Amino acid sequence: MVEAGVKTALAARVESLEGCEVKAGAPLAPLTSVRAGGAAEALVRPRSPDALVALLKLAREEGVPVSILGGGANTLVGDGGVPGLTLKLPGDLFPEVADVGPEEGRLTLGAGAAIVRLVNVMRANALVGAEFLAGIPGTLGGAVAMNAGTKNGEAFRVIDAVEVATADGVGWLTKAQVPHAYRHAELPPGGVVTRVRFALRKGDVVASKAVMDADLGYRKRTQPLSQPNFGSVFTNPPGDHAGRLIELAGLKGYSLGRAQVSTLHANWIVNLGGATARDVLGLITFMQVRVLETSGVDMKPEVKRLGDFL
């Protein structure tokens, strides 16, 4: 079990690397949107691509596990904490690049930047096409890793290329070189997304803003955005909606410990204050069992788990 504030030999070795900010025993609950879970053995923020590659090389040579923490929007950290290295890329690790022509444009942003940053840069350059990403929490790297989206589109619809770091260096992959599907992208083993290039088009920015405003208004009315949460807990099964099946199972508002199935949207779990990862994971499992019993559907969680679960 990783203890908060305890400095290990691993953290000391990472501190010796140039260009790395290290915090031993760092509590991770405040860095996740559901606000639950334990600490990182070593939370590391690399300040350059070279520092990131050096970290990944150290991890490979010493057999140290590496976990990636983006915006923490769809992540559950175990109560036992996260052993090894937990990487969090700074949002300003890379400069933003806008290559805009008369009819289209390509925007390149760092993977540690918030998704909303893409929306803002898109608007500033009179581009459109990524409206469906507005309002989704988390980072651009996380959006790549889980092919984030809504009913109106998914990230890889507007992704042109992805830069990935491994222990052997940094390189670009085209969209076609990254197999992807609903809420999933297959990155190189041990790879960390560092930058993302988006292909967008010139268009009516006023209409684009209206679409995003309408979507955000709908989200505020139908989702518990004021409470700690994951966003959607389960992927939608083919031809159906996870929220409908959970509500049909009579679980809307059901609680386990301090974790609750939202009374506003059944496919969201909220932290009522003081929920443990054990509470949350137990509730997820219970929801799966009940929906399987009532509807015969095996629900697939889209929440990423990190660390040790007690």
Has 302 been annotated as catalytic?
A: yes
Q: Residue 168's closest CA among 12, 49, 260, 73? A: 49
Please give the backbone phi and psi of residue 112, each rounded to the nearest 5 degrees, phi first.
-80, -5
Selecting among 35, 45, 183, 195, the annotated active-site residue is 183
Strands (DSSP E) contained in 101-228 are 104-110, 127-128, 149-150, 153-154, 159-166, 169-174, 180-181, 184-185, 192-202
Selecting among 33, 67, 208, 232, the annotated active-site residue is 232
Strands (DSSP E) contained in 122-232 are 127-128, 149-150, 153-154, 159-166, 169-174, 180-181, 184-185, 192-202, 229-232
Cα separation, 160 vs 177, whole angstroms: 11
Q: Which residues contact 251 (CB under 8 A, 6 or more apart)?
A: 261, 266, 286, 287, 290
Has 232 been annotated as catalytic?
A: yes
Token pair belonging to 54:
């050096």
Positions marked catalytic:
183, 232, 302
